[in-house]
């Protein structure tokens, strides 16, 4: 049987008929599995994206708007942001366009001048539109850009690692960009962090700034987004580590 209806009308009719079940025990068990799975991903790394995103969420309030670019950092943001509000996560989910982030962050900050805007980006995505720093500086937009610098086009690099026998093509660009100097050239404030402690210190300082700030976070090139289902696969094919 199929039902054709306006979804809003249909859900309004349906919801009163459904009995709410809290499923507390099950959700607690899922949380245990999730924590164990996350912990197993990052035993050796100096700074895992989870540490960065966790610190950002702990140090910002529920009105904060989080914006991403496209790549692994986007997936980590989706996994680890502690979402506390609606309409507070701007991400290029469908077309996945690298370079989306800074323009979207500027739009969010202009549209919501009283809210904090945090822009999570990757080294490669940020290269695509970082010239927009001119606008952010001129307009004194206090956007904090968190650059997760793994020195690779990480999302594609991960695929080439996992499914193409580590035959890397166009994913290791050997760039030597100094994001801290570049930010200074634009007239923006900037920091570099290699440990969770350094990141927290930099982020606390960034929150005091009136204009845009970049924080370059050095993360491991081999960090993976997990769990992951291969293209065309099902949950049966899930990759956990
Ligand atoms: C304009 C554009 N070109 C290419 C791609 C394909 N692509 C998706 S993610 C990605 C790598 C992104 O690298 P980076 O911004 O450093 O993020 P990371 O995955 O390393 O976190 C690429 C090339 C894309 N989505 N958009
Ligand atoms: Mg990268």
Closest protein CA for atom 2 of ligand 1: 98
What is the Cα–Cα distance from 63 to 163, expressed in whole angstroms?
40
Instruction: Give the ligand at the shortest distance from the Cα of 157.
Output: 1
Q: What is the pLDDT of residue 45?
A: 55
Find the helix or strand (DSSP H, E) in which 213 lies.
Answer: strand 213-218
3-14 pLDDT, tens per residue? 899 999 999 999
What is the Cα–Cα distance from 128 to 102, expressed in whole angstroms?
9
Ligand 1 pocket, residue 123 CB under 6 Å: yes
42-74 pLDDT, tens per residue? 555 589 999 999 999 999 999 999 999 999 999
| CA atoms in the 13 A half-sphere facing the CB of 29 | 4
> Ligand 1: distance of its center to the CA of 3 in Å?
39
pTM: 0.89
Ligand 1 pocket, residue 153 CB under 6 Å: yes
Ligand 1 pocket, residue 124 CB under 6 Å: yes
Closest protein CA for atom 11 of ligand 1: 153
Ligand 1 pocket, residue 68 CB under 6 Å: no
pLDDT at 110 over 60: yes
Q: Is 38 exposed, middle or buried (0-12, 13-18, 19+ CB in 10 A)?
A: middle
154-212 pLDDT, tens per residue? 999 999 999 999 999 999 999 999 999 999 999 999 999 999 999 999 999 999 999 99
């Amino acid at each position: 049987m199929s039902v054709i209806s306006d979804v809003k009308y249909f859900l309004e009719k349906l919801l009163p008929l459904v009995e709410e079940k809290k499923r507390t025990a099950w959700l607690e068990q899922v949380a245990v599995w999730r924590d164990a799975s996350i912990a197993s991903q990052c035993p050796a790394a100096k700074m895992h994206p989870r540490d960065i995103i966790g610190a950002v969420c702990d140090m910002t309030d529920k009105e904060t708007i989080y914006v991403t670019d496209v790549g692994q950092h986007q997936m980590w943001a989706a996994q680890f942001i502690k979402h506390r509000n609606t309409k507070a996560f701007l991400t290029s989910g469908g077309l996945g366009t690298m370079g989306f982030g800074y323009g979207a962050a500027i739009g969010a900050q202009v549209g919501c001048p009283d809210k904090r805007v945090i822009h999570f980006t990757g080294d490669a995505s940020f290269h695509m539109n970082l010239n927009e720093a001119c606008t952010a500086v001129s307009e004194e937009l206090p956007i904090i850009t968190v650059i997760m610098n793994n020195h690779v086009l990480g999302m594609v690099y991960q695929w080439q690692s996992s499914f193409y026998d580590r035959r890397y093509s166009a994913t290791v660009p050997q760039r030597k960009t100094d994001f801290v100097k570049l930010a200074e050239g634009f007239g923006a404030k900037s920091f570099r962090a290699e440990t969770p402690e350094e990141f927290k210190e930099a982020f606390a300082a960034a929150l005091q700034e009136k204009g845009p700030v970049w924080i370059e976070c050095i993360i491991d090139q081999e960090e993976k987004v997990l769990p992951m289902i291969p293209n065309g696969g099902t949950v049966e094919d899930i990759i956990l580590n």
